[in-house]
Amino acid sequence: MSSHNLFSALRAAFPSDLDATAVQTDEGLHYSWRDLDRATAMMANLLQSLDLPEGSRVAVQVEKSVEAMMLYLATLRAGYVFLPLNTAYQSAEIEYFIGNAEPAVVVCSGANFGWVSKIAFKAGTQHVFTLNDDRTGSWLDRAAHHSDQHQAAPRQADDLAAILYTSGTTGRSKGAMLTHGNMLSNALTLQDYWGWKRGDVLIHALPIFHVHGLFVAIHGALINGSKMIWMAKFDPKRAIGYMSEATVFMGVPTLYVRMLAEPALTKAAVKNMRLFIAGSAPLLIETFAEWQTRTGHTILERYGMSETAMLTSNPYSADKRYAKQSERRGGTVGFPLPGVSLRVRGDDGQDLPVGEIGGIQVKGPNVFKGYWRMPEKTAEEFTADGFFKTGDVGKVDERGYVTIVGRSKDLIISGGYNVYPAEIEGYINEMKGVAESAVVGVPHSDFGEVGVAVVIAKAGATVLPDAIIAELKAKLANFKIPKKCFVVTELPRNTMSKVQKNLLRDQYKNLFA
């Protein structure tokens, strides 16, 4: 292939019948493959008409819609860099991302245009468009004036396709730079490894601003020429209803927990389904086992991250080549995907023997190029021989199955979203009357894990837990808000005076379990 534009590879996989349905929505709308081709051409032409510099970022914070997916595909097609933003982010968060990424184009919902455009123009962005989930907005109005023919911009495998912001243990969010090559190689590997076949239909139930919904799900369906049943918002009853006409489902563990609570989830309801895939957060063995009992299907759990796309997966055993490793083992994330090297290292940097727990490091064509404008941070996160330090702690057993046992990064994964305690603590510590705070993750029956804030007031000050929560809600994305706040007189500390978060986690572990 002379060009490695990811869009071209996805386009080449469209079925020959371009009038067949590519996406069927919740509202009963049908988009054909031809619609995807024409609309992304018009949008790509609109982008190109703006005369943007090479490598320009297109930052997008809009509700999930097929048009929003088209905007992503059009950005690839035109050769620019897509920067998706969680719709829950509020102004301080957006200000940081836009200030850091300096996008040439920002697309937001009409309702947020006032404050988002102000932030964007201040950061030097020249073009701000709106796109709403009811198929209105200046983005579509403007695209409608452009040609529906477009030759995808030639791109090399190493050229940037997307930047995904992800936080670290300390400091602000970092933009993980993913290339056309990273994503195409991962999509092709998964197509083969998960046994995608003709006629597969994917239920697309996840948001499209993170790796899981944006890349694994969308690329997975498109590279296979497979139809998607498009849910603007996950609803367990409707998802189960769609299973009679679908074959593949992807979800974070919370989606499985919520579907298990539905009496409609029966063996009969899922008899058309071929594969259930889970990831983004640990799948409890109870959920894995209950799903097996209720549906007769074994969930296939896989592991990945923003910096690397997918890294490991339990096997899809129908493929003879992988027959020796055919069992999907609950509690594990399976084997390194073909092409991915994975090792477990101890604190001293030595490889650990089978079964021993250490830091997971990875290398492969899927591993990102580095953090946006943070060369030192990038260098810190890679070893001298080019392995990326995931920050996850795990082990590999004698059969090669990888198990994640924890994280060295101080991170809470709540319903598949990442919450960084350091960020929340920073906000709480600035509040009036607060001396110090600690945010820890505790088990939660729906979200898997949620944050709890433990706060110490300054001498003589009165600090109310509800007021802290209310103040946080005014500033931060809703999923980051601790589900409970306690004001206490002291925090447990070790001899170095460091707060012992493990003791706090233990103390509050039964709050929501």
HSE on the CB side for 10, CA within 13 Å? Answer: 30
Query: Hey, what are 402's tokens?
Result: 């990888």
Per partner kind, with CB cut-offs from 5 to 8 A, the member of ligand AMP, ligand MLC, none near residue 392 is ligand AMP
State which of positions 100-139 bind ligand MLC (CB under 6 A): none
> How far apart (Å, rounded) are the C-alpha atoms in residues 384 and 393?
20
368 binds ligand MLC, rule: CB under 6 A? no
Per partner kind, with CB cut-offs from 5 to 8 A, the member of ligand AMP, ligand MLC, none near residue 252 is ligand MLC
> How far apart (Å, rounded) are the C-alpha atoms in residues 133 and 38?
19
Among all residues, whose Cβ is closest to ligand MLC? 415
332 binds ligand AMP, rule: CB under 6 A? no
Cα angle, residue 228 at apex, residues 418 and 326 outer, rounded to 5°: 70
Q: Which is nearer to ligand AMP, 99 or 406 (CB)?
A: 406
Number of H helices, E strands in the chain: 15, 25
390 binds ligand AMP, rule: CB under 6 A? yes
Q: Which is nearer to ligand MLC, 358 or 416 (CB)?
A: 416
447 binds ligand MLC, rule: CB under 6 A? yes
Closest distance to ligand MLC from the beta carbon of 284 (Å): 15
Per partner kind, with CB cut-offs from 5 to 8 A, the member of ligand MLC, ligand AMP, none near residue 447 is ligand MLC
Binding residues for ligand MLC, how many (CB under 6 A)?
A: 22
Per partner kind, with CB cut-offs from 5 to 8 A, the member of ligand AMP, ligand MLC, none near residue 212 is ligand MLC
Beta strands 201-204 and 248-251: pairing type?
A: parallel
State which of positions 143-172 bind ligand AMP (CB under 6 A): 166
Near ligand AMP by CB under 6 A: residue from 41, 94, 259, 413? 413
Closest distance to ligand AMP from the beta carbon of 404 (Å): 4
Per partner kind, with CB cut-offs from 5 to 8 A, the member of ligand MLC, ligand AMP, none near residue 479 is ligand MLC
Q: Which is nearer to ligand MLC, 225 or 304 (CB)?
A: 304
Closest CA to 57 of 371, 366, 375, 372: 372
Bridge partner list, 300: 277
Helix, strand or coil for residue 21? Answer: strand
Closest CA to 302 of 310, 293, 294: 310
Near ligand AMP by CB under 6 A: residue from 137, 220, 225, 279? 279
Could you tell me if 98 and 118 are in contact, meaning their C-beta atoms sit under 8 angstroms apart? Answer: no
305 binds ligand AMP, rule: CB under 6 A? yes
> How far apart (Å, rounded) are the C-alpha atoms in residues 163 and 224?
24
Q: Which is nearer to ligand AMP, 32 or 325 (CB)?
A: 325
404 binds ligand AMP, rule: CB under 6 A? yes
Q: Which residue has the tokens 């897509």?
A: 82
Could you tell me if 417 and 479 are in contact, meaning their C-beta atoms sit under 8 angstroms apart? Answer: yes
> How far apart (Å, rounded) are the C-alpha atoms in residues 328 and 300?
6
Residues 6+ apart with CB under 8 A from 2: 154
Q: Which is nearer to ligand MLC, 175 or 304 (CB)?
A: 304
Closest CA to 414 of 383, 376, 442: 442
Q: What is the DSSP letter of 102?
A: -
> How far apart (Å, rounded) are the C-alpha atoms in residues 87 and 99?
17
Choose the binding region for ligand MLC from 9-17, 39-47, 145-153, 207-215 (rule: CB under 6 A): 207-215
Q: Which helix (H) or strand (E) holds 485?
A: strand 484-488
Binding residues for ligand AMP, how many (CB under 6 A)?
A: 19
177 binds ligand MLC, rule: CB under 6 A? no
280 binds ligand MLC, rule: CB under 6 A? yes
Closest CA to 456 of 433, 475, 480, 440: 433
Near ligand MLC by CB under 6 A: residue from 72, 165, 234, 276? 234
Closest distance to ligand MLC from the beta carbon of 469 (Å): 9
277 binds ligand MLC, rule: CB under 6 A? no
Q: Which is nearer to ligand AMP, 47 or 83 (CB)?
A: 83
414 binds ligand MLC, rule: CB under 6 A? yes
Q: Which amino acid is at 496?
A: M
Helix, strand or coil for residue 120? Answer: helix
Q: Rg of the chain over CA atoms, in angstroms?
A: 23
Query: Hey, what are 200's tokens?
Result: 């597969």
Choose the binding region for ligand MLC from 110-118, 205-213, 378-386, 403-411 (rule: CB under 6 A): 205-213
Closest distance to ligand AMP from the beta carbon of 304 (Å): 6
Q: Which is nearer to ligand MLC, 38 or 483 (CB)?
A: 483
Could you tell me if 64 and 267 are in contact, meaning their C-beta atoms sit under 8 angstroms apart? Answer: no
> How far apart (Å, rounded) are the C-alpha atoms in residues 195 and 167?
33
Residues that bind ligand AMP (CB under 6 A): 166, 210-211, 279-282, 301, 303-306, 333, 390, 392, 404, 407, 413, 418
Residues that bind ligand MLC (CB under 6 A): 206-207, 210-213, 233-234, 252, 254, 279-280, 304-305, 414-417, 447, 450, 478-479
